[in-house]
């Protein structure tokens, strides 16, 4: 019985078994897991699953992407805005290997995905059959868990484990490879039971009250405490708990790029962005604080700069759900293991209500230095070509900080992360740890499916856009409403900036030519416009936002503008340059 006119499964075992194929059992599992959208691309080895999907079209919305990498980035965007697990289908061989970049991206950025790949018949495994690759060994380093199914009877239990592993603890991508014989094999299906426990797998470490007390004692005696918060706050749905902690303790707080939006960017205790192109005050004063409280962040190199010169004067409190992150890069004084949604309220109950007025004033003074040296000129130029910053500033005026901003990778990403106003959580979608060019367009498509009631705006460079522009076809076919801004500086801008600053302007293969992006978009039925003059900007942005459907706006910006402040590679965060 392959046709599913109504869902056969319940969260518990059925009294009477029915005969299903492995493919139908997979789709039944997805429905019970609450999946509503799948991003995928069919092929020979996954064809039985797509054949079964034909009978589930009323229950499962499948989005046909134009490339498997586009599919997995769309799944990431969906997961990031919805808070649910993204689901991706791909066939064997090149279909599966095209997922690898997205898997690596999702792994390092802790994005929950379940990827289903088709595989050749089990009896052909290891024979170099057509479109066979060893996807399990290829993807082991870039998945939280992977597994190959060769017998249909395994499918319900394996899929249940896949969803549990992907979304529990520190989230991440899971890949399930299903051989073609398992997809077509019929078996007695007895229902689907969601997984809530796996022996030897502990997604949440035990919260130790002793460490909570020690952390609170350090915070209460601190004169210059400083909070660094990352995406762990958002992944743990702990935004309200975090806000309560910050407001009671009165501690200045700065964010990693994936933590942006956990509290509004204009909150009085939000002092800006950390990292290589972060704000001046948070970077310099990291090496001046006496207690550093890291919450749901991993001290990556773009935040710390030189580790041997990073916050050596401070006692460090690290709240993280992943014990492997504690002491990995920065030595911790007090480790607080656990889900920050659980640990933060315990900590908040013990901290004293304070206002660190003079300490916060110092951050504001550094902010003013940055405004005078960098920000005012970037956001309010009066002559010359347009800057990326002024585009983001004018966009803020129209969105009021309520849109989802999906940025690609490069100078425009740093500018968008620095200047975009974010009033809501799950509003900043970007490739953080892997830095994947081409991420934004497909991720914006997925982000819109994950948050259909919100405006979704993709901010992309002329280089990154050309890596995945075929996904305009996905927009055309689905009719999804995504706004696309290409900030075109006719360069691979971030590489060019480094070549200017550190390689004596030896511009080696960074001058990139592009097609007429507006004409390309129109070829896919998407309206668009290209502007060169500052006087056109506001009206062009209004036209884009008011347009009924997707729209592409290309803005020609100055060619050799650099993103500052900047911590040069190999330098301390306190050596950040304003110019």
Q: Which residues are catalytic?
A: 68, 130-131, 180, 494
Is 177 in contact with 136 (CB distance < 8 Å)?
A: yes
78, 70 Cβ separation under 8 angstroms: no
| Tokens 């919805």, located at residue | 82
How far apart CA 429 and CA 418 sit, in angstroms, is 13
Distance CA 294, CA 296 (A): 7
Which strand (E) or helix (H) includes residue 225? strand 225-229
Contact 548, 358 (CB under 8 A): no
- 258: alpha, beta or left? (left if phi > 0; alpha if psi -120 to 50): alpha
User: 453 in helix, strand or coil?
Assistant: coil
Cis peptide before 298 (omega within 30 of 0): no
The token pair at 508 is 């080696």
Q: DSSP secondary structure string, 131-194?
A: T---HHHHHGGG-SEEEEE-SGGGHHHHHHHHHHHHHSSS--EEEEEEEHHHHH-EEEEEE---
Distance, CA of 499 to chain centre: 28
Output Rg (C-alpha) for the chain, integer angstroms. Answer: 25
Give the closest residue to 148 by CA, choosing from 193, 179, 120, 109. Answer: 179
Instruction: Give the span between the Cα atoms of 139 and 294, in whole angstroms.
Output: 31
Sign of the C-alpha dihedral computed for residues 378, 382, 387 and 393 taken in this order:
positive
Angular region, 384: left φ>0, alpha ψ -120 to 50, beta rest: left
Beta-bridged to residue 491, according to DSSP, are 511
Distance (Å, rounded) from C-alpha 442 to C-alpha 73?
Answer: 6
């Amino acid at each position: 019985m392959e046709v599913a006119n109504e869902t056969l499964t319940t969260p518990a075992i059925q009294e009477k078994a029915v005969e299903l194929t492995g493919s139908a059992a997979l789709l039944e599992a997805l429905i019970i897991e609450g999946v509503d959208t799948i991003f995928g691309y069919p092929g020979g080895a996954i064809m039985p699953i797509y054949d079964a999907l034909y009978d589930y079209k009323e229950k499962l919305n499948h989005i046909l992407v134009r490339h498997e990498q586009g599919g997995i980035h769309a799944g990431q965007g969906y997961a990031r805005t919805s808070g649910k697990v993204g689901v991706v289908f791909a066939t064997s061989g090149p279909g599966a290997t095209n997922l690898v970049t997205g898997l690596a991206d999702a792994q390092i950025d802790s994005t929950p995905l379940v990827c289903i790949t088709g595989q050749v018949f089990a009896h052909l495994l290891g024979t170099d059959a057509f479109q066979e690759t060893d996807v399990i060994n290829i993807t082991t380093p870039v998945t939280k868990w992977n597994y190959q199914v060769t017998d249909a009877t395994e499918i319900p239990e394996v899929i249940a484990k896949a969803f549990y592993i992907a979304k529990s603890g520190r989230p991440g991508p899971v890949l399930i490879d299903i051989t073609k014989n398992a997809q077509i094999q019929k078996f007695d299906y007895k229902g689907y039971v969601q997984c809530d426990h796996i022996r030897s797998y502990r997604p949440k470490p035990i919260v130790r009250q002793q460490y909570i007390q020690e952390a609170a004692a350090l915070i209460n005696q601190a004169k210059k405490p400083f909070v660094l918060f990352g995406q762990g706050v958002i992944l743990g749905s702990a935004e309200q708990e975090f806000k309560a902690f910050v407001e009671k303790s009165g501690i200045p707080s700065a964010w990693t790029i994936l933590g942006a939006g956990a509290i509004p960017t204009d909150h009085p205790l939000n002092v800006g962005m950390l990292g290589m192109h972060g704000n001046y005050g948070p970077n310099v004063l990291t090496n001046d604080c006496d207690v550093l409280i890291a919450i749901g962040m991993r001290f990556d190199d773009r935040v710390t700069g030189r580790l041997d010169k990073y916050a050596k004067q401070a006692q460090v409190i690290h709240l993280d759900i992943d014990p492997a992150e504690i002491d990995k890069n920065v030595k911790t004084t007090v480790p607080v293991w656990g889900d920050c949604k659980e640990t933060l309220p315990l900590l908040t109950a013990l901290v004293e209500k304070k206002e660190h007025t003079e300490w916060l004033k110092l951050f504001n003074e550094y902010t003013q230095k940055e405004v005078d040296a960098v920000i005012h000129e970037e956001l309010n130029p009066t002559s010359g070509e347009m800057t990326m910053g002024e585009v983001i500033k004018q966009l803020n005026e129209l969105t009021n900080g309520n849109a989802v901003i999906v940025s690609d990778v490069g100078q425009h990403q740093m500018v968008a992360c620095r200047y975009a106003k974010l009033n809501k959580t799950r509003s900043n979608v970007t490739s953080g740890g892997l830095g994947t060019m081409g991420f934004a367009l497909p991720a914006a498509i997925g982000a819109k499916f994950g948050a259909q009631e919100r405006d979704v705006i993709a901010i992309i460079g002329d280089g990154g856009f050309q890596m995945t522009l075929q996904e305009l076809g996905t927009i055309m076919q689905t009719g999804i409403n995504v706004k696309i801004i290409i900030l075109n500086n006719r360069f691979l801008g971030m590489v060019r900036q480094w070549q200017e600053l550190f390689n004596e302007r030896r511009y080696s293969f960074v001058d990139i030519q592009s097609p007429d992006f507006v004409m390309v978009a129109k070829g896919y039925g998407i309206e668009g416009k290209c502007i060169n003059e500052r006087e056109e900007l506001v009206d062009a942005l209004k036209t884009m936002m008011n347009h009924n459907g997707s729209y592409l706006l290309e803005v020609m910006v100055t060619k050799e503008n650099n993103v500052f402040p900047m911590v040069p590679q190999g330098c301390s965060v306190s050596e950040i340059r304003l110019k």
